[in-house]
Amino acid sequence: MSESTTAPTEPGRITGVPILLDGVTKRYGSKSAPAVDHLTLEIPAGSTVMFVGPSGCGKTTTMKMINRLIEPTEGSIVIDGEDVTTMNGDDLRRRMGYVIQAGGLFPHMTVAANIGLVPKMLGWDKQRIAERVDELLELVSLDPDSYRDRYPKQLSGGQQQRVGVARALAADPPVLLMDEPFGAVDPITRQRLQDEMISIQNELRKTIVIVTHDIDEAVKLGDWVVVFDEGARIQQYDSPERILAEPANDFVSDFVGSGAGLKALGLTRVNEMPILDAVVVTPEDSPTTAVQKAEAAGHGHVVVLDRARRPIAWPSVAQLRRATALPTRYEPDLPIVGMGATLEDALDTMLVSRAGAALVVGPRGRFEGVVDIDTVMQSLRDNRGAADTGRSPVGTNDAEARIEVAPDTGEITLITPDQVGTGRGRYDDGAAEPSRSDADEGSDSTALPQTSGERP
């Protein structure tokens, strides 16, 4: 990474701003059914919120109302505490990044001109624009010298998409809106772009809204996931873990599909798990010493390591008793996983090797310890009771819900009719605990899977 003029100096500082959709409705023409129906949605600063849902449910419409490419019929959009519903749309959009499928690059402009367009409109000088262009190309893993002067047609789909992201980030906007950004590339490129997006976001911490209809992508990239039904009705607004582990209703569980548990395995990495100690020996040790060490530790296996602490073999005590010397040749089928592997990969390795456990290696293949199936299962169970740190963002389609913004913290609380006692619908415990069980279709007043402003 080159030195940055506008990007945050210390990685991880939040540069995004909060967004609030307040009772937003969109009707196209005079059609009776609104495309977006009384949507109130909080998008916390610096987080990535994924919009998912079936085709035509209003994801794109909702997102385009944030930068007012589509004007809301009712309601207001508040960005960083400022109501932007009536401000000049072009000015508003210059302060937000916007990326669409296939990048939407201007074919008659070079990569550099595409990226530099917004800074140019904002009146930056040439030198600063050129520096910014190079910096962004590096951020999206494109070599500035070989790509700067190319035209979009001279790029692959994935590269065009990268340039699209770079262009959106050009003026360092606090908000980034992306509509199915990775929909038009092949699965391998898509995965790579997603991984890059994650690392870019770890560095920049913008407020990002991504529309997708791929639940796997939503769960992978999102800090929060909104599952919409027709009319942008929120079915669940929750962390990816909870969406997978505790779908609020049948709609969500159908949408998540089978294998939700397995998807959760893809969310956790080996280095987030407790790694168990093992008895380690070197090939120079005698089998007897190895057996003694194992018995002293109460283990059934020992790990034989080479000088660089890379695993050679993983014999059992029974095998050691029969052996005359410790193995010196690398066993080809050792179940080895890296620290960065997902639990899904780890489980796969264990099942293939039938060992019920796997050796974990760190950088340069150095042995770190062992994970076993029990640890993985335990972590899955823990996930199920998903540790709720902090509150979930607010989201509802309740036309009568009002929001209250704490003047000091900016924290948003939802006031539902139940709470203020104008009560219609069901009384539930001060509405503090969301009723996640209900799946009353069609009723948009109190049938809110996730209405709570605060979680106890």
Partner 1 sequence: MDYVTDRWQQILFASWQHFSLVVQCLLLATVIAVGLAMVSYRSERLSNLANSFTAIGLTIPSFAMIGLLIAPLGFGVLPAVVVVTFYAVLPILRNAVVGLNSVPGGVVESARGIGMSRMATFFRVELPMAWPVILTGMRVSAQMVMGIAAIAAFVLGPGLGGFIFSGLSRLGGANSLASVITGIVAVIVVATILDALLILLGRLTTSRGLRV
17, 19, 21, 35: which one contacts ligand ATP (CB under 6 A)? 35
Burial label, 222 (beta-carbon count in 10 A; 0-12, 13-18, 19+): buried
Q: Is 60 in the site for Mg ion (CB under 5 A)?
A: yes
Q: Is 48 in the site for Mg ion (CB under 5 A)?
A: no
For partner 1, the binding residues in 399-438 under the rule CB under 8 A are none
Piece of the chain touching ligand ATP by CB under 6 A; list 59-67, 236-244, 351-359, 428-436: 59-67
16, 18, 23, 58: which one contacts ligand ATP (CB under 6 A)? 58
Q: How far is CA 292 from CA 3, 81, 307, 319, 416, in A?
A: 55, 67, 21, 13, 67
CB of 337 to Mg ion, least distance (A): 38
> How far apart (Å, rounded) are the C-alpha atoms in residues 130 and 18?
30
Q: Is 55 in the site for ligand ATP (CB under 6 A)?
A: yes
> How far apart (Å, rounded) are the C-alpha atoms in residues 49 and 177?
10
Size of the site for ligand ATP (CB under 6 A): 11
Piece of the chain touching partner 1 by CB under 8 A; list 96-104, 243-251, 374-382, 428-436: 96-104
For partner 1, the binding residues in 130-169 under the rule CB under 8 A are 151-154, 164, 167-168
* Closest residue to Mg ion using C-beta atoms: 60
Rg (CA), the chain: 26
Site string for partner 1, 167-196 (x = CB under 8 A): xx--------x-------------------
38, 59, 190, 301: which one contacts ligand ATP (CB under 6 A)? 59
Piece of the chain touching partner 1 by CB under 8 A; list 18-26, 42-50, 98-106, 128-136: 98-106
> How far apart (Å, rounded) are the C-alpha atoms in residues 69 and 90?
9
For ligand ATP, the binding residues in 366-405 under the rule CB under 6 A are none
| Angle, CA of 22, 24 and 27, to the nearest 5° | 175
Neighbours of 299 (CB within 10 A): 17
> How far apart (Å, rounded) are the C-alpha atoms in residues 184 and 223?
23
Q: What is the DSSP-derived secondary structure letter of residue 189? A: H
Piece of the chain touching ligand ATP by CB under 6 A; list 57-65, 245-253, 267-275, 409-417: 57-65
Piece of the chain touching partner 1 by CB under 8 A; list 99-107, 223-231, 240-248, 360-368: 99-107
Piece of the chain touching ligand ATP by CB under 6 A; list 10-18, 58-66, 407-415, 447-455: 58-66
CB of 193 to partner 1, least distance (A): 17
11, 12, 13, 56: which one contacts ligand ATP (CB under 6 A)? 56
> How far apart (Å, rounded) are the C-alpha atoms in residues 286 and 46?
56
CA dihedral 29, 35, 38, 43 (to 10 degrees): -130
Comparing CA positions, the residue from 339, 337, 333 lying closest to residue 347 is 337
Q: Is 50 in the site for ligand ATP (CB under 6 A)?
A: no
Burial label, 144 (beta-carbon count in 10 A; 0-12, 13-18, 19+): middle
Amino acid at 182: F
> How far apart (Å, rounded) are the C-alpha atoms in residues 328 and 325?
9
Size of the site for Mg ion (CB under 5 A): 1
Q: Is 213 in the site for ligand ATP (CB under 6 A)?
A: yes
Residue 67 touches which of Mg ion, ligand ATP, partner 1, none (CB < 5 to 8 A by kind)? partner 1
Collect contacts of 178-181 with beta carbons under 8 A, ≥24 apart.
178/98, 178/99, 178/100, 178/208, 178/209, 178/210, 178/211, 179/59, 179/60, 179/63, 179/64, 179/99, 179/100, 179/101, 179/211, 180/100, 180/101, 180/211, 180/212, 180/213, 181/99, 181/100, 181/101, 181/210
Neighbours of 266 (CB within 10 A): 17
2, 5, 28, 88: which one contacts ligand ATP (CB under 6 A)? 28
Q: Is 192 in the site for ligand ATP (CB under 6 A)?
A: no
Nearest CB to ligand ATP, comparing residues 30 and 389: 30
Site string for Mg ion, 220-259 (x = CB under 5 A): ----------------------------------------
Piece of the chain touching ligand ATP by CB under 6 A; list 49-57, 132-140, 235-243, 301-309: 49-57
Nearest CB to ligand ATP, comparing residues 229 and 368: 229
Q: Is 67 in the site for Mg ion (CB under 5 A)?
A: no
Nearest CB to ligand ATP, comparing residues 214 and 372: 214
Which residues form the interface with partner 1 (CB under 8 A)? 67, 69, 90-98, 100-110, 117-118, 121, 151-154, 164, 167-168, 177
